[in-house]
Amino acid sequence: MKRIQEGIYQIVSPFPEYERKEAYRLRDDMEEHPRVTKGLPYIMPYAITSRGETLLVDCGWATDDSYDALSEQLNEIGIGIDDITKLVLTHAHPDHCGLAGRLHDEAKCKVYMHEIEIDFLRSRYTEPEEILEKMNVWLKEHGVQEDDVEDLERGSMPVRFFVATVKPDNPVKGGETIDVGDFTFEVIWTPGHSPGHICLYEPNHRLMISGDHILPMISPNVSLHPQQRENPLQDYIDSLEKIADMKVDRVLPAHEWDIDWFKKRVTELLTHHESRLDEMVAAVGVEGEATAADVARRIRWNTGSFDSFAAWMKRAAIGETLAHLRFLVGNDRLRRYQRDGVTYFANS
């Protein structure tokens, strides 16, 4: 646990592959020696406590170790799980919302989430049949070979067992405020990484709880997949521009570590996508055509080669490639067409 300022605390919650003590150690070590790891070791929920109220932003995976980590660190600040009055989920990824059901049952807290994300809790975790079917069609459409389709399609199914779903009782759209004692957070809708991703902004204390929208070192995954909006990279860039001029002294992200160079990071992320877009255009080639799977295999990934990725990472890489290709179509730098049920991209 790290005290950000009076009343605001950063919690470290382990991913299922890591013991919590190891996650605590890695949290400190990674800030000291910044690096990109192949999988994430931890997520950082934030506890905001003021005048008898406690807001928790994101909550970690639904494992006992993650629950114990949360409980142990809340105890260090003099409160317990029971004291949580409000829970905000920045988006529906399992590391952010996994424990929500259990916390809701035990603390009887109000749960806030963007209205778009709420249905993902059902369609991804409790009734995934329909999404699996759509994923199958989608993978084939984007050039994944028949032999690999099943692996990639089911790539993220194991995570289902690490989510105790909840039905958020306070859907938000962005623009609302959430009070916690002396703090007032503005809900900002920042689609891109996920369609209903939200950040929380505290203008008086100049804090931005950024979820997975802004991370200090990793460029957040922005993927086009069957549950995304039409052009997620355009959404993501618009969402960065939407917050770029806000007065922020400290960014509190959900992974890696907190930073005090908000503006510079926003600019870096925008620049990163510009160069990534150029790289994708080059990978499609001046002549010829390519599927999203072809391009994903040709471009460089800073976590290793595409072929060394686990199934869920391959799928994320294809989705990320596709988000860029779709953006380029929107900007008339590429054209897109279908042949025999497969989508191809070519330079225009």
Binding site for Zn ion (CB under 5 A): 93, 95, 212
Minimal CB distance residue for Zn ion? 93
**Non-local CB neighbours of 52 within 8 Å, separated by 6+ positions:** 181
Strands 13-14 and 250-253: unpaired
Q: Which two tokens stand for residue 306?
A: 């595409």
Nearest alpha carbon to residue 312 among 148, 199, 114: 148
CB of 40 to Zn ion, least distance (A): 7
* Minimum distance, C-beta of residue 309 to Zn ion, in the bound complex (Å): 17
> CB-wise, 42 or 138, nearer to Zn ion?
42
Nearer to Zn ion, 44 or 328 (CB): 44
Minimum gap (Å) between residue 281 Cβ and Zn ion: 27
Residue keyed to tokens 């003099």: 78
Q: Which residues of 4-14 are buried (b: 16+ CB within 10 A; e: fewer)?
A: beebbbbbbbb
CB of 212 to Zn ion, least distance (A): 4
Nearest distance, CB of residue 215 and Zn ion, angstroms: 9
**Rounded alpha-carbon distances, angstroms, from residue 74 to 13, 220, 249:** 12, 28, 25
Closer of 212 and 294 to Zn ion (Cβ): 212
Residue 47 or 334 with smaller CB distance to Zn ion = 47
CB closer to Zn ion, 93 vs 315: 93
Least distance (Å) from Zn ion to the CB of residue 11?
Answer: 14
End-to-end CA distance of the chain: 52
Burial class, 33, CB count within 10 angstroms (exposed 0-12 / middle 13-18 / buried 19+):
exposed
Between 93 and 250, CB nearer to Zn ion = 93
Q: Report the C-alpha gap between 254 and 94 in whole angstroms.
A: 13
Length of the chain: 348
